[in-house]
Amino acid sequence: MHKKVNRLFIFYWPWLLIGLAVSALVAGLFLPLQHKPYPYRIIAIGKASTQGTAFWYSMAEGMAAAAIEFQVSVDYRSTVDESEVGRQIAIVNQAIAEKPDAIILAALDADRLVEPARAARAAGITVVMVDSALADVEKSPQQSFIATNNVLAGQQLGELVVQRVRPGAKILVISPSTRGDSLIGRETGVRAVIQDAFNVLPTLDTGGQLSDEIYHQVSQALIDHPDVEAIVCLNEYTTAGAARAIRGASLTGEVTLVGFDSSEELINYLEEGLLSAVVIQRPFNMGYLSVTRTIDLLNGRKVEPFYDTGSIVITKDNIYTEENQKLLFPFED
């Protein structure tokens, strides 16, 4: 009798499985009605602290907005400045050890961050790049990349020079680093426009240092090249450092300065006329979209490999337009 019952149970297992499949189907009918993603844990690793730069402040703000809207947790971490590649690798490795659902990374070094990113992918962690990608986009472990199209932004910078400076003039390009993908892109864009028409000096690599140090480096450069007519800076604090150096050398109006990104300080320089123009990015959008794209990936949806958040030229005349003032002045102080 027992044997018979056992046999019957074995025989009915397929039916039980069918029953389960039906149940799962019924439950599955409700899944599309669900809008809330699972409470994913995302670690974002930027290039600089939110206190140090307006750019990364806005970036973290955008990430936080998306985190609140989609009920995920986003933990923003960063190095103090852009020179600490080794430190950023350590931060990535630490993040991998914490087993988050995803890592959003702005690579300080397009080559050296490839291995840590691979390790993250191998650990089943979704990797989305923001602002600065990894080298060799085709083969890199990144699943999506949200940033300004830096080559185009660099070209915008180049156009600003063309509009303001006489052909053949001596031009200094200042970059905080020559390893970050975003900076490489900008420099490529700038040089594509100005290389032939002007006398472009070799790029001054400030080595990731902050404005105070840059002030000295640029002041020295202005002494070394007294005939420089224009300076092109590839990020926020090199622009600030260069502006201070120009003022320090009493060259306001003599040297045309075009820069990248914005801050309260840079806006004052723009109003003053010390700074001729800046190309700004949309760091808030970048942060927000990097999180939404990451959630899309985690939910198994297809995501474009690259999303361009765009860049805008700001001069003294368009600071207070409806859109631009909201981009240039973060709400909270």
Residues that bind other proteins (CB under 8 A): 5, 8-9, 11-12, 15-16, 18-20, 22-24, 26-27, 29-31, 33-36, 38, 62, 65, 68-69, 264, 267-268, 271-273, 282, 284-285, 288-289, 309-310, 316, 319-320, 322-323, 325-329, 331-333
Closest CA to 126 of 297, 290, 292, 293: 297
To the nearest whole angstrom, how small is the minimum distance from the Cβ of residue 285 to other proteins? 6
* 23 vs 93 by CB, closer to other proteins: 23
The residue (of 93 and 268) whose beta carbon lies closer to other proteins is 268
What is the per-residue DSSP string for 91-143? HHHHHHHT--SEEEE--SSTTTTHHHHHHHHHTT-EEEEESS--SSTTTSS-S
Cβ neighbours around 158 below 10 Å, total: 26
CA dist list (Å): 26 to 13, 16, 96, 244: 20, 15, 37, 67
- The CB-of-277 to other proteins minimum distance in angstroms stands at 15
Nearer to other proteins, 81 or 296 (CB): 296
- Closest distance between other proteins and the C-beta of residue 269, in Å? 10
Minimum gap (Å) between residue 3 Cβ and other proteins: 13
CB burial of residue 4 (10 Å; 0-12, 13-18, 19+): exposed
Cβ 19 to other proteins, closest distance in Å?
4
Taking the C-alpha atoms of residue 9 and residue 116, their distance in angstroms, rounded to an integer, is: 51
The residue among 198 and 260 lying less far from other proteins, judged by its C-beta, is 260
Of the two residues 30 and 227, which places its CB atom closer to other proteins in the complex? 30
Q: Which is nearer to other proteins, 198 or 288 (CB)?
A: 288
Amino acid letter for position 80: V
Residue 65 CB, nearest distance to other proteins (Å)?
6
* Chain centroid offset of residue 144 CA: 12
